[in-house]
Chain A
């Protein structure tokens, strides 16, 4: 759950903020957490627990969207962190029927989330595009166009995103009228790639099936000689329709789906999902479970980072270091096995806490194994750092400049290496993170070396946090089961996945089902950043740059 911190600053800001938005843009503040205000009481007549003060919702007319969002972004410098649509054409949702469009801005300094909502009538599904002023909106607008059929007017390049040439025109799967089990005929549309022309410019298509054991995606490089001058990534090869699959399912089934969004971010995703539901139900997660969640989340980060470090070394043909990191990763997996019997930390979280007390009686052995990984990591890092051949290869390669990182809302290690010192664990603390002090490494050269160093430092920090969590974990129960949630209520779940900020938005339906589940993993933000970072580098460095971000295709494509 997102907790209110910095109360003083927040309050000053909040009243100003509300006033400006309501006066200047005639925005109407909406109740936080539910779709209609009369829904805010459950059958016992109890007022739903207010989530926090610093998560705000405003409703504006659709022609006001562009000015208000531009104002928030330009004047206040808030980042657009999420944008999504919701089919609110069901009679039970009240009178404001249509497609709800939500624009979520974050003030990362003062921990404020402002959501601007507008409703678009089903008769004319279109809205003014924001992409000219807010670069980060471009991807979301294309996504919404594909899934909901809402046209972003004036979008600079509104080509298909989610669907490839095989999807028929005019069918939008996230509309409620679309049946999830429909099998549509394969259409034949053209896919248009950005053309770079000039003397000596070549196009190199790569994928979707790549040479290594990795996920599928198609890359179009335009090169002039060796350097890359443009890269366009065609993703969504592993689009499985997860958001649609979740709709109408029980909250319990949603949990297992959320665990399978992206393999090595299982815990971060299931935690964000649980967080959203726990916020809606207003229940308190037992303290022991909160500490245990820190332990698991950090173990996942450690495992993931060790894999990435090994991957960068492998692509730089540095065999010894690769196998060192892989060995340590093997140890981290063994630790997960010992903890919960699942290497990918599945079936660990449940709604309201943890499925079992996984830690009891294992404390000493866990700490011993963590110490072993830590000392091995120290030795390995000192050997790698003294290898100048390796350092030469990674230094000043694949630079993501700070202004671009900010514009594209680059998150996680990818953003932190470029001077964006943002980490959900510090700014929107969840689980027990507000009780543990999280050190956030910062580098600002934005090259592979910085991302490599960030990940190394975060590995040490993860180990430290895990040891601290084990040592300070209070005794007690680990689960406060949630059996019933109110219909048509919504909440955010925000966690720091190994790859960065992970935002889920969930709205409940009738009988403890899911009405809408919006997932935005860090990879969605960082893919465009990667495409920028490769510009000017030579093709043989692409795998290395790609590995240093190590983005998830599954988490992006959903």
Chain B
């Protein structure tokens, strides 16, 4: 007992004060950024990007990264001969719409996604209208939105759903409860049942075997509710896009309010996304 008390006194406080203070000492890998003015349009990055996240059109000299698909693998920085791509330390990437994560603001439709997925196939430039269910906006507009903020106030109950992840995203969500991040200090806690939840935090690609459970969990969550997609898989299918067993993003099944890119997103990136859904950050 004495030793236990000693330990408690030894470490009075470990928690980082994100979002008040951003701890940026660590040299972690964040968002890749393309500087088109330096780009020689050789297309090497677009061809090799493992999740086909780079939208490239050599003839029109256009290039950009679809952050909802990017898995932050650093390959593009490494293969770029002209130094046009740089990995930054930026992690506050969450957005309220998937289109905002794309260079020309549009979302790939399923038909465009069905391009051949082989080694030498050219990735297509992002085009076509959004396939995000219209409900996402509907659920968050006008009065209802104000109502949600009033109801949830500064406290929020979250139910996490793994709909087919590699588990890294779930570990990062778990890390929100560790002494370093301690998300309860923000009035946010995790609950065991969707019936008690205000928000669903969904990871994974919504696999064929999980899609029914995901939709049922969504239906079991009382209104008003928020849905946050965590990680490249949940946003767009990530590296597991276009498989017989997965969906390209959970928004093909349920409406999503905030998308958090990353593979996996860091715990602080997830906090940022949650706060964004609550409109506590801009």
Q: Which residue of A lies closest to B48 (CB)?
A: A252
User: Closest residue to B178 on the A side, CB-wise?
Assistant: A326
Mark each residue of chain A from 233 to 248: 1 if its CB lies under 8 Å from any CB of chain B, else 0. 0001111111011001
A253 within 8 A of B: yes
Complex interface: chain A residues within 8 A of B73 (CB) = 256, 346-347
Contact between chains at A238 and B3 (CB < 8 Å): no
Residue contact A329 to B178, C-beta cutoff 8 Å: yes
Judge if A8 is at the interface, Cβ distance under 8 Å: no
Cross-chain contact B26 with A334 (CB below 8 angstroms): yes
B90 contacts the other chain (CB 8 A): no
Question: Can you give 29 contacting A-B residue pairs, CB < 8 Å?
Answer: A166-B209, A180-B243, A180-B244, A181-B117, A208-B210, A208-B213, A212-B192, A213-B190, A215-B167, A237-B207, A238-B162, A239-B208, A240-B164, A242-B240, A245-B240, A255-B50, A260-B168, A263-B169, A327-B11, A330-B14, A337-B28, A338-B27, A341-B26, A344-B168, A347-B74, A355-B78, A379-B3, A382-B3, A386-B3
Q: With A and B bound together, what is the CA distance between A330 and B166 in angstroms? A: 20
Residues of B within 8 A of A512 (CB): 119
Contact in complex: A341, B28 (CB < 8 Å): yes
Task: With A216-B162, A263-B167, A333-B175 as known contacts, state yes or no: A320 contacts B240, CB within 8 Å.
Answer: no
B-side contacts of A266, CB under 8 Å: 168
Q: Given A213-B174, A323-B179, A330-B180, A379 and B7 touching (CB < 8 A)? A: yes
- Report B1-39 residues with CB < 8 Å from chain A CB: 3-4, 7-8, 11, 14, 26-29
Q: Which of A179, A209, A355 has the most chain B CB atoms closer than 10 A to its own CB?
A: A209
B26 touches A209 (CB 8 A): no
Question: What's the tally of chain B residues with a CB closer than 8 Å to chain A?
Answer: 67
A residues whose Cβ falls under 8 Å from a Cβ of B? 163-164, 166-167, 173, 178-184, 186, 208-209, 211-216, 236-242, 244-245, 248-250, 252-253, 255-257, 260-264, 266, 307, 320, 323-324, 326-327, 329-330, 333-334, 337-338, 341-344, 346-347, 355, 379-380, 382-383, 386, 511-513, 552-555
Let me know if B161 and A181 touch, CB within 8 A: no
Q: Specify the chain B residue showing the minimal Cβ separation from A257.
A: B239
Assess the A383–B3 pair: CB atoms within 8 A: yes
CA A248 – CA B27 in complex, angstroms? 35
**Complex Cα gap A139–B12 (Å):** 49
B172 surroundings in chain A (CB, below 8 A): 343
Tell me the minimal C-beta distance from A509 to chain B in angstroms. Answer: 10
Q: Are B264 and A344 in contact (CB under 8 A)?
A: yes
Contact B168–A257 (Cβ < 8 Å):
no
Chain B residues with CB under 8 A of A347? 29, 72-75
In the complex, per-residue mask of B66-109: 1 if CB is within 8 Å of any chain A CB, else 0: 00000111110010000000000000000000000000000000
B133 CB, nearest partner CB in chain A, Å = 18
Query: Pick the contact of B119 from A213, A262, A333, A513 — CB < 8 Å?
Result: A513
What 8 A-B pairs come out closest when comparing CB atoms?
A263-B168, A263-B167, A211-B192, A256-B50, A241-B245, A241-B243, A341-B29, A326-B178
> Is B171 touching A264 in the complex (CB atoms < 8 A)?
yes
Nearest CB on B from A502, distance (A): 15
In whole angstroms, how far apart are the Cα atoms of A186 and B245 in the complex?
11
